[in-house]
A = this chain, B = another copy of it.
Amino acid sequence: MTGTRHPTAAQLAAADPETLLPASLALERHGRVAILRLSREAKRNALDDATVLGLERFFSAPPAWAHAVVLDAAGNHFSAGLDLSELTERDTLEGLEHSLMWHRAFARIEQGRLPVVAVLRGAVVGGGLELASATHVRVAEPSAFYALPEGQHGLFVGGGASVRVPRLIGVHRMADMMLTGRVVDAQEGQAIGLSHYLVGAGEGLKKAVELAERIAKNAPVTNFAVLQALPRIAEANPSQGYLLEALMASVASGSDEAKTRMAAFLEGRAGKVGGATDTPDAGRAGGAAS
């Protein structure tokens, strides 16, 4: 497969998604959850053009049966980043275009139709961290480590890290990582916000699939609101933000899905939020306390 062919949207929608995937991406169906796996283990899942363009194609027209995605990686490393062997062949303008291509691909993930849960282990480095930060929920195993070695190579990030990573951990922490080459371990990454969940060794995929299955049960309007509206509201000036929130809330609560779910809730057929566990149905055991 070549990395530069651009199928039309109609072709994409009609095609079997698997036929559009490069060899470096494997797709597995798990009910309504699509497990997409970086599969270039010998290269620690380094991101070459074919892989990045494959991600763009997949998230531009994900399979209709999928309601959530788990982004996993083969082997012991999520991704060691940009495939440096491709880098040396580019002149300045080609480098600029390459960066914009990554931005386009990762924007398809971040602003796509499907919530994406990433499983992080081993190297989440450079472009690997850029890819991880474009997903919506990150589950880390204890082997995960994070770094932005671009600084040590005389480079700068080019896959969106300077926009997305400061929103996760603050500009000041990203500056430290780039200036000093600091490697952040899984524990520290969890504390500062690079991951949302820290689980035991080998438990990342199971946890991610559980979360994705829970997400797949949400009303589509809620997942739309969280992926499309929430980030824009949070970035808006507050007076515009409040109006956007009110409009989004009004659209959601006016949906048939919301009315059905609320009726079920009020009739006691759905759980209340409880404090004892992290499952949304925890309140059930305690009965209708309110």
Contacts and interface: CB of A to CB of B under 8 A. Distances in A.
Which of A92, A93, A183 has the most CB atoms of chain B within a 10 A radius of its CB?
Answer: A183
Nearest to A188: B278
A290 B80 contact: yes
A113 to B, nearest CB: 13
Given A171-B231, A245-B158, A262 B150 contact: no
B137 A179 contact: yes
A253 B103 contact: no
Contacts of A74: none
A31 interface: no
A156 B222 contact: yes
A265 B238 CA distance: 38
Say how many copies of this protein the assembly contains: 2
B279 A185 contact: no
Interface stretch (A2-10, A11-19, A213-221): A213-221
Interface of A: 42-44, 46, 80, 84-85, 87-88, 90-93, 95-96, 99-100, 103, 115, 122-123, 125-126, 136-137, 143, 145, 147, 149-158, 160-163, 166-168, 170-176, 178-183, 185, 191-193, 196, 211, 214-215, 218-219, 221-223, 225-227, 229-231, 233-238, 241-255, 257-263, 265-266, 270, 272-275, 277-280, 282, 289-290
